[in-house]
Amino acid sequence: MKQQALTLLACIMIATSISGFVYAQWTDIITIKNTMQFGRWNDPPNMGFVYPLTCLDNEVTKNVGECYCNYTDYKIDVGTGWDGYNTTVIVINNGYPGYEVQCNFTIKNIGTLPLHINKTVISDPTNALAWDAVLSALVDTDGKPILSITLIPDLACNQLSSGETLEAEIDIHIAQNAEQCQTYNLQVGIIYEET
């Protein structure tokens, strides 16, 4: 009985070794050539505003309100040599309730690492107004909307690989509760990180 088991075991071992040999005979190597470019570990993720940048309003007949926009805080990425700006500045003069400004801007991943936009944070840097996400507006202390702000598309959750651009627009609408002679401020922070 013991001898039979040993024989069976020996047979299994031989069969296994042969099959391995046979398998080895029938295999080959396919070479896939690819180039992988790695980001440099020391480079931070780098996103910036790039041109085109345009600004227009909703006035058709009379030119009463004025809007300007430009980029500031120039920067250049050491790794890629691409440049961009850290800040977009939008100035609205002589605004009135119903006046609306549409600013089309472009953001670009000017660094080497792929990026992910985590979120956008809209606020009033002077804290005179507060952001109301439900109304999508900066509201006064009574909760009345003063500046309605819309970002199209929603920038959060967008992913940009190195060199990729994303065009977006910000719409600023002055609501009926805005007061004469006042100056209102707004800030949109676009927070991103390396993926």
User: In b/e form, how buried is each residue of 159-192, taking b as 16+ CB within 10 angstroms?
Assistant: ebebeeebebebbbbbbeebeeeeebebebebeb
Indicate if the alpha-carbon torsion angle 59, 62, 65, 66 is positive or negative: positive
Return the SS3 of 107.
Answer: strand
Return the SS3 of 76.
Answer: strand
127 forms part of the interface with another protein (CB under 8 A): no
The smaller minimum CB distance to another protein, of residues 25 and 183, is found at 183
Spatial CA neighbour of 98 closest among 151, 134, 62: 62
Site string for another protein, 175-194 (x = CB under 8 A): ---xxxxxxxxxxxxxxxxx
Site string for another protein, 33-62 (x = CB under 8 A): -----------xxxxxx------------x
The smaller minimum CB distance to another protein, of residues 19 and 87, is found at 87
145 forms part of the interface with another protein (CB under 8 A): no
Do the Cβ atoms of 43 and 79 come closer than 8 Å? yes
Chain residues 57-86 in contact with another protein, contact rule CB under 8 A: 62, 64-65, 85-86
Q: Single out the residue of 57, 77, 106, 107 in contact with another protein (rule: CB under 8 A).
A: 107
Q: What are phi and psi of 105, to 5 degrees?
A: -130, 170
Site size toward another protein, by CB under 8 A? 49
The smaller minimum CB distance to another protein, of residues 11 and 89, is found at 89
The binding site for another protein (CB under 8 A) comprises 44-49, 62, 64-65, 85-98, 103, 105, 107, 118, 125, 147, 170, 172, 174, 178-194
